[in-house]
Amino acid sequence: MAYFLQQLINGITLGATYGLIAIGYTMVYGIIGMINFAHGDIYMIGAFISLVGFMLLATFGITSVPLACFLVLLFAMFFTAVYGWTVERVAYRPLRRAPRLAPLISAIGVSIVLQNFVQLAQGARVKPLQPMVQGAFKLFSDGDFQVTISYLQIMIIALTIALMAGFSFVIRYTSLGRAQRAAAQDMTMAALLGVNVDRTISATFIIGAMLAAVAGLMVTLYYGVIDFYIGFIVGIKAFTAAVLGGIGSLPGAMLGGMLIGLIEAFWSGYFSIEYKDVAAFSILVFVLIFRPTGLLGRPEIEKV
């Protein structure tokens, strides 16, 4: 039971990062009906910006860990927001009325460009970061095995819950949220009723990029190593989480992220770690066979 609880804590922590990235996928799909395959690389850039931010703060003598994390979070969210806005303007807005395959190919091209840009700018080697948030609470012990939850895990879970609550409030009660829901239901009618659709879509890309930046910061602190290729692997898993939970559903994106994280954690703990990705994608296949819309998704109603 102690080992089970430890893997549960690890899985929730991992699932929180997948869920934050998956929200970016599901938001974009909910409004324009397309998948932003460059979103995983926005997360990767957020991780690199976080690493550079910590190095700059250390150079200026800022050694307070809470202050450094807060400043780096703002720094990463600002710059990834710029990247997210640029991706929308370059890869999606000019192709909004084109066949769906065109923006998909464009997004894949942007993903390759971002990967190679970071590889050339930062090098292909793994970039390490010294542990910054240390310490843990010991929950209980079973013989020689101790169940712990680290301060960093608490921070990741608490930050994810806070962001989900804040974002749900924005979607439900603000003018931006109403504009996003209107554009998601009928973009043409929303524009006729006065909604600035272009600005709403840009804001959606920006918000998704900022959430990816938060995930990038958390992964950098949690694992302590990053490279230019992490965006592809994690992006595919986050996309899987969005589809598993129900593409277009924000609670479904977080639920799917949690499920993917738990599947990976328990499979790695009880079976061979080399096949954890196979287990996660196999669950996705079975879910889509028996529930094609995902766990919380709704059948798409085609307007005639």
Residue 228, phi then psi, degrees to nearest 5: -70, -10
In a domain, 290, yes or no: no
| Measured distance CA(33)–CA(236) in Å, rounded | 18
Determine, yes or no, domain membership for 282.
no
- 172 domain residue, yes or no: yes
Asked if the structure places residue 287 within a domain, the reply is no
Is residue 91 situated within a structural domain?
yes
Residue 28 three-state SS: helix
Assigned domain for 236 exists: no
Count of domains observed in the chain: 1
- Residue 185 has what pLDDT? 83
In a domain, 131, yes or no: yes
Gyration radius from the chain CA atoms = 20
For each of the chain's 304 residues, which pLDDT tens digit applies? 788 888 999 999 999 999 989 988 888 887 877 788 888 999 999 999 999 999 999 888 888 888 999 999 999 999 999 999 998 888 888 887 888 788 888 888 999 999 999 999 998 899 998 888 888 888 877 777 788 889 999 999 998 888 888 888 888 888 988 998 888 888 888 888 888 988 999 999 999 999 999 999 999 999 989 999 898 888 888 888 888 888 778 888 888 999 999 999 998 888 888 888 888 888 878 887 888 888 887 666 555 4
Domain with 211, as residue range(s), is: 2-229
| 44 falls within a domain | yes
Exposure string for 239-261, b = 16+ CB within 10 A, e = fewer: bbbbbbbbbbbbbbbbbbbbbbb
Three-state DSSP state, 137: strand
Which residues on neighbouring strands pair with residue 138, listed in sequence order? 148
3-state secondary structure the chain: CHHHHHHHHHHHHHHHHHHHHHHHHHHHHHHHCCCCCCHHHHHHHHHHHHHHHHHHHHHCCCCCHHHHHHHHHHHHHHHHHHHHHHHHHHHHHHHCCCCCHHHHHHHHHHHHHHHHHHHHHHCCCCEECCCCCCCEEEEEEECCEEEEEEHHHHHHHHHHHHHHHHHHHHHHHCHHHHHHHHHHHCHHHHHHCCCCHHHHHHHHHHHHHHHHHHHHHHHHHHHCEECCCHHHHHHHHHHHHHHHHCCCCHHHHHHHHHHHHHHHHHHHHHCCHHHHHHHHHHHHHHHHHHCCCCCCCCCCCCCC
Q: Report the C-alpha gap between 92 and 294 in whole angstroms.
A: 26
- DSSP letters for 188-252: HHHHHTT--HHHHHHHHHHHHHHHHHHHHHHHHHHH-EE-TTHHHHHHHHHHHHHHHH-TT-HHH
